[in-house]
Amino acid sequence: MSNSYSIRSTKIGNSAGFRLPAEFYREYPQFANADGWIEVLSSDTAILRIVPKSTEAEEEDSLMMRLFLDFAMTEALKKNTLQPYTTEMSDAAHKLLEGVELESESPENG
């Protein structure tokens, strides 16, 4: 996944910047409107890091998970049903999962 793109220095308002070709954004739309930083490695080498913004679906999933966990914790504390996770519980879980292979980890897929 190592593609190279030519960039050009350009004036942007009162600042200077780099112009990326449209092809870059067509191939990697997740970088449009993203923020990032540049790290200078030596006098003639720098690395640009662009961090895509999370999608609305990811943010919604994260919010839903937080709300669910908050609800579960509140209910558990309210009903005083919390109990410590013991070594015996862990052993029982490991026995249940013994020999189970996930599809993505099976040799046929990978």
Query: What is the mean pLDDT of each successive set of 10 residues along the chain, which is 110 residues long?
Result: 82 90 90 88 88 73 83 79 85 93 64
The residue ranges of every structural domain in the chain are: 8-51, 56-98
Which parts of 28-99 fold into alpha helices (H)?
56-79, 87-97
> Which pLDDT value is given to residue 110?
47
> Which pLDDT value is given to residue 55?
65
> Which pLDDT value is given to residue 90?
94
pTM: 0.44
